Structure 1
Amino acid sequence: ANAPRLAPFTAAAWRVEADDFAIRGFEPARRGKGATLAMTFKEPHEVVGNHIAKYQAMKLAKMLMAYDFDRRLNPFAELGGFIFTFMGDGKPGTGKTTLIQMMAGLISGYCETAGYAFRYQNLSTDNIDSYQGKSGQNAKAFIDAILDPGVIGFGTIDDIDQLAGKRGDRQSSAGQLEITAVLMESFAGANTVVRGNCTFGMFSNYPENVDDALRQRAGARFLVDGPQTREDYIDILHLLMGKNHAIPLGAHDLYGAQEIKRAVARSFESHAKPHEAGLLNVFDRVHAAEGELDTIAKLGTYLKAIQEADARFTGRAIKNITDAVKVRAMDFELPDAWMEEPELFLRKGYDEKKAMIEALRVPITTEMVIQEINRYADSEFRYADKSDEAAVEAMVRDLARQEEARRRYLEGKG
């Protein structure tokens, strides 16, 4: 690999069409193979609430299918609207596992129709090993399996706060820190190549316990907040009750509140102003001084004010926000017919796919930018508040133990 003048070999690719045999530099010539999934898939209507997360997961499942196996590139990756990594966070029991089951089921179904190999893997606490270096090897093997350009890949890291160690945390094991290092390098390292054939989802009930630098490598944020409205709770009760009863539904439009376009529009509009109190103070102060945030200069002023309030809001945060805005510019779902009839889209050449996608792209507006700034910054402020509160509670417990120890010591001397 370190020998000179290898570029003509490593950059060249040949393919024998009759045998579907490809040679790309010194890569092993192998065909991508999927794996049999032992998973219960969920339908989109079975994900109650979580409108933005559900919508983006459904969009991402279709985005993956635009990948071109000959060019080894996805038009969405070239056009700037592809989600390579995302973070799903929410309270326990709000539907993260259901969201994974829905997304995996959608991709699996699309791949079966198209004749593509699909590979799903989950990195779990079983991959933490007591032997030095083994945990890192396990994480690297997981990453490489999903990145394989011969398959459509979906990799999940559930309970990432338990799996990946927080640097500087004395409670993090060597194995956990190895996994953190591998994930950071793989998701946004010097050698990271985003082809658009795969995506990685990190999920956590406690994202504030995830290393800051690793968390910021999640290009998109999916707030998995579960059922919120009265309609959501009726829908989920009906869904989970099953069919072995005769209780009437009553006056209710079943799953009407889960109609995705209407629900997502409401969810995005709610981010016209921040949700977190700390961020809302910053927004109101900048808005009072600058007026409507309708220019790049005013939006940049708002971003700087956020950075002054939270030093962790760095250039990477701005990149994640602009990536999310580009995804919003692709604020359309590829038509279902394109997924059901491969000749309409999936079997077309790369350039034709790219032209069809570009024709659907919508203009970027200031409303989109403000909503995405608020969505991302809200999540960072939420994580920071929880992290600070956890640290304060730990210090209070320590002080209480010290006081109790002092009391017992003095009683013993007395």
Structure 2
Amino acid sequence: MEHNTTFPIKQNELDMLRDEATSYLKSVQWEQSQRAKNKDKNANDASILLYLSRAKNGSNISTTSISKTILALKKRLLPESVAIPIYLNQALYAIQEGITLGIWVKDSYYDASGLTTLNQNKSALDTNGRREYESKMYTATAFMLFASAYKILHDLKPHASDDLSVMKQKFAGIPEVSLLSPLKGISCNLFYLDKYLAHPDIIKSDKDVVDFAVVYFEALIDEIQLRKSSLEYTETIVDRTYKLENSDFAISGWDNMFQGTAKSVAFNKIQFEQIVGNKDAKHFARRLTERMLSYDFEVKKNPFQELGGFMPVFMGYGIPGTGKSMLIAAIATRLKEHADHLDIPFLFHPMPDTLISTFQGGSAEKMVEWMKPLQDPTKLIFAPIDDAENNLQERTAQGVSAGVKEVIGVFLRYTEGAYAVNYGNSSIGLFTNLPEMLDKAVISRVQGRFKIDGARTEHDFVDQDYIWWRKMQNTMPDFINMNDPKHYKYLSDQGLAKSMGEILQIVDKPSEARVHETFDKVEKMHKTNDHMFYATLYKEIQKIFPFFSSRDVRNIQSAISLRLTDFDLEQDWFENPEKYFKKDYQTKFNMLQELMKANMKGLNFSDIRRQEVIRYLDNVATIADTDFKRKVDARINQLNIETKAREQFERKD
């Protein structure tokens, strides 16, 4: 649903609620539920959950005070200091402001949803009225806690440490979240926050208070997001935006902008010209960057997605040493340079090597954390997975860890299915030497694929050497005493291709034997420009490769659509962004459509279809055969070694 109306949150209205918020920080009372108490009975005594669940002072009702706990922390951490240390102060102030804002949002919901009226006539309500009253109370409490947590994160996140993993390991979750009434909601939440802050192992320095608050309130938002679907009467929440006066803080329904605010990772700058060979890969990478840069931040859409020329998931594969890591850096370099020039935020977000966890569920959690930022519509995101076979290995293979299975589960869920949101601003690239080791379901998510095959021609090899020795020539001009090639200008082959057609030139027949054979067989039954040719071909291919499915056919279709959008953006547009990049979505879309029509005039649909089908099926066959071939080669090698060893052994004897 679109957020249509914006309401201001006025500072003077908040001033009137601040005393109420402060009173909660001074003291709240909470009676723990049995379930929360029993949460961790079996754990050892040092367990944080057990500590949280020990009710104090005989009775079941405990009174806690956040402000007292913060003062006690000051005494424990900085006994000499007179003033409250800056981080403790920041945390306390942020929590107070968060609660104040939460109360304001709750009052606003009371009025907008009619809960105020129900509350006034509470005693006269019939059964339906009571039900509506209770249901709205739940929703009011949930929204209040959400707004409070969201404001606290907004204020504290900039001051928290970049890496919160240690704090997250100490944190054992929030034992219970009460939504029965706003008072109960605040009391329950502050009770457990206080318990954590008072625990001797959690806070070791004043900065830890800020870090812990961020971890705690992120968890609270997650808890509320989990319950969101069961809340009723939320129309007056999702149809409006609340903006805080004189601030960049705003609340739009349940949107959580902090989910996956990731920081860009540093990388070495590399230009495409420094990469030798790899024509296909460089061409693909250049198209990818042009397409991502066309994303429209206003409407959160990419015109290339509508034209069928965008790839949320792609794969580059090739033998080791052909330049995968260089290619990743080159894509990132190109995107960053253009993004800086166009004043667009860019996130380079490679998958970390430490993703697979030995804890059950740990890998899934880390993977969700890694994939969440890809749904942030406010920046361009390039997310490479280098050596993808490590984390996305075929699940049915022997000895595959539970962690890998968890990671793949999350990957599949976020790339297609209910969770898959792609605005056309982010792209995941799988890079691998061993595509045949990747999980079949993962490979079927790949919409664009290209070979990274390194130097392939004499010119490629002479250029690779040239890039190396020209550094010496710059420092010692007379040292390189060799002749240059007669009819070739260095690096002139390393430029970018105009189009895919130029690279493929004429792919007329498959290079893989089994595909070639099938192709010939089907050609005897149908002409290649008959639609039935492809239907029959797919059916025959399925007999050889049972895992070939309609998703593969969809991937072929998207490869053909990519070829229709395989045109250059005008150089002029990059130099003068207002001519294209800064235009509104519809204008950009129309400009691209014109380019596409002009580009299609020189193309022949049945040729392109043939080329892309051959390219895809060859790829399927290569991946299927390589695995088998590798096993056979290894076995032959083993037998050769044994034979040789036997010969030498006999000679010695």
TM-score (norm 1): 0.88
Offset at residue 187 of structure 1 (A): 1.5
Offset at residue 129 of structure 1 (A): 1.4
Q: Alpha carbons of 1:393 and 1:250: their partners in 2 closer, same or farther (altered >3 Å)? A: closer
The counterpart of 2:421, out of the listed 177, 193, 198, is 193
Offset at residue 146 of structure 1 (A): 2.7
Q: Tell whether 2:572 aligns with 1:332.
A: no
Partner of 1:84: 312
**Residues 171-207 of structure 1, C-alpha deviations (whole Å, 9 max, x = no match):** 2111111111111111122331221001000011111
The counterpart of 2:464, out of the listed 232, 236, 241, is 236
Q: Alpha carbons of 1:183 and 1:212: their partners in 2 closer, same or farther (altered >3 Å)? A: same
Partner of 1:299: 534
Partner of 1:358: 593
Matches within 5 A, 1:280-291: 280-291=516-527
In percent, how many aligned pairs have the same letter? Answer: 29
Partners of 2:531 and 2:241 in 1: CA distance: 43
The counterpart of 2:346, out of the listed 118, 122, 143, is 118
Partner of 1:203, secondary structure, is strand
Larger Rg: 2
Partners of 1:4 and 1:269 in 2: CA distance: 60
The counterpart of 1:146, out of the listed 366, 370, 374, is 374
Q: Alpha carbons of 1:397 and 1:172: their partners in 2 closer, same or farther (altered >3 Å)? A: farther
Q: Which runs of 5+ in 1 are unaligned?
A: 401-414
Letter in 1 for 2:583: K
**Residues 98-128 of structure 1, C-alpha deviations (whole Å, 9 max, x = no match):** 1111111110011101111111121143211
Partner of 2:534, secondary structure, is helix
**Residues 222-262 of structure 1, C-alpha deviations (whole Å, 9 max, x = no match):** 11111111111111111133421334433222222224336
Letter in 1 for 2:612: E
Partner of 1:94, secondary structure, is coil
Q: Alpha carbons of 1:108 and 1:76: their partners in 2 closer, same or farther (altered >3 Å)? A: same
Partner of 2:577: 342
The counterpart of 2:299, out of the listed 46, 71, 76, is 71
Partners of 1:248 and 1:4 in 2: CA distance: 80
Q: Tell whether 2:507 aligns with 1:271.
A: yes
Partner of 2:87: none
Q: Alpha carbons of 1:73 and 1:15: their partners in 2 closer, same or farther (altered >3 Å)? A: farther
Q: Tell whether 2:617 aligns with 1:377.
A: yes
Q: Alpha carbons of 1:24 and 1:307: their partners in 2 closer, same or farther (altered >3 Å)? A: farther
The counterpart of 1:203, out of the listed 421, 427, 431, is 431
Asked if the contact 1:158–1:202 (Cα under 8 Å) also holds between the matched residues in 2, the reply is: yes
Q: Alpha carbons of 1:102 and 1:296: their partners in 2 closer, same or farther (altered >3 Å)? A: same
Q: Tell whether 2:629 aligns with 1:389.
A: yes
Asked if the contact 2:498–2:568 (Cα under 8 Å) also holds between the matched residues in 1, the reply is: no
Root-mean-square deviation (Å) = 2.8
Offset at residue 68 of structure 1 (A): 1.1
Offset at residue 219 of structure 1 (A): 0.9
Matches within 5 A, 1:35-184: 35-184=263-412
Partner of 1:213: 441
Offset at residue 357 of structure 1 (A): 1.0
Q: Which runs of 5+ in 2 are unaligned?
A: 1-227, 474-479, 641-653
Partner of 1:315: 550
Partners of 1:128 and 1:394 in 2: CA distance: 28
Q: Alpha carbons of 1:109 and 1:289: their partners in 2 closer, same or farther (altered >3 Å)? A: same
Offset at residue 8 of structure 1 (A): 7.5
Partners of 1:24 and 1:394 in 2: CA distance: 59
**Residues 263-283 of structure 1, C-alpha deviations (whole Å, 9 max, x = no match):** 843432343321211111111
Q: Which moved more, 1:332-341 or 1:25-34?
A: 25-34
Partners of 1:300 and 1:12 in 2: CA distance: 50
Offset at residue 25 of structure 1 (A): 3.3
Partners of 1:194 and 1:113 in 2: CA distance: 24
Partners of 2:235 and 2:445 in 1: CA distance: 30
**Residues 298-353 of structure 1, C-alpha deviations (whole Å, 9 max, x = no match):** 22222222222211211110111111111111011222332232211121111111
**Residues 141-193 of structure 1, C-alpha deviations (whole Å, 9 max, x = no match):** 11112331111000011111112232222321111111111111111223312
TM-score (norm 2): 0.57
Asked if the contact 2:264–2:346 (Cα under 8 Å) also holds between the matched residues in 1, the reply is: no
Partners of 1:11 and 1:377 in 2: CA distance: 48
Asked if the contact 2:278–2:454 (Cα under 8 Å) also holds between the matched residues in 1, the reply is: yes
Higher relative CO (Cα under 8 Å, sequence separation at least 6) belongs to 1
Q: Alpha carbons of 1:6 and 1:391: their partners in 2 closer, same or farther (altered >3 Å)? A: farther
Q: Alpha carbons of 1:205 and 1:11: their partners in 2 closer, same or farther (altered >3 Å)? A: farther
Q: Which moved more, 1:268-277 or 1:59-68?
A: 268-277
Equivalent pairs counted in the alignment come to 398
Offset at residue 22 of structure 1 (A): 6.5
Offset at residue 12 of structure 1 (A): 6.6
Partners of 1:342 and 1:31 in 2: CA distance: 31
Partners of 1:19 and 1:231 in 2: CA distance: 59
Offset at residue 398 of structure 1 (A): 11
Partners of 1:11 and 1:330 in 2: CA distance: 37
Letter in 2 for 1:48: V
Partners of 1:29 and 1:212 in 2: CA distance: 33
**Residues 274-295 of structure 1, C-alpha deviations (whole Å, 9 max, x = no match):** 121111111121123323x113
Asked if the contact 1:154–1:200 (Cα under 8 Å) also holds between the matched residues in 2, the reply is: yes
**Residues 71-111 of structure 1, C-alpha deviations (whole Å, 9 max, x = no match):** 11111112211011011110001111111111111100111
Asked if the contact 1:325–1:368 (Cα under 8 Å) also holds between the matched residues in 2, the reply is: yes
Partners of 1:369 and 1:221 in 2: CA distance: 16
Asked if the contact 1:80–1:323 (Cα under 8 Å) also holds between the matched residues in 2, the reply is: yes
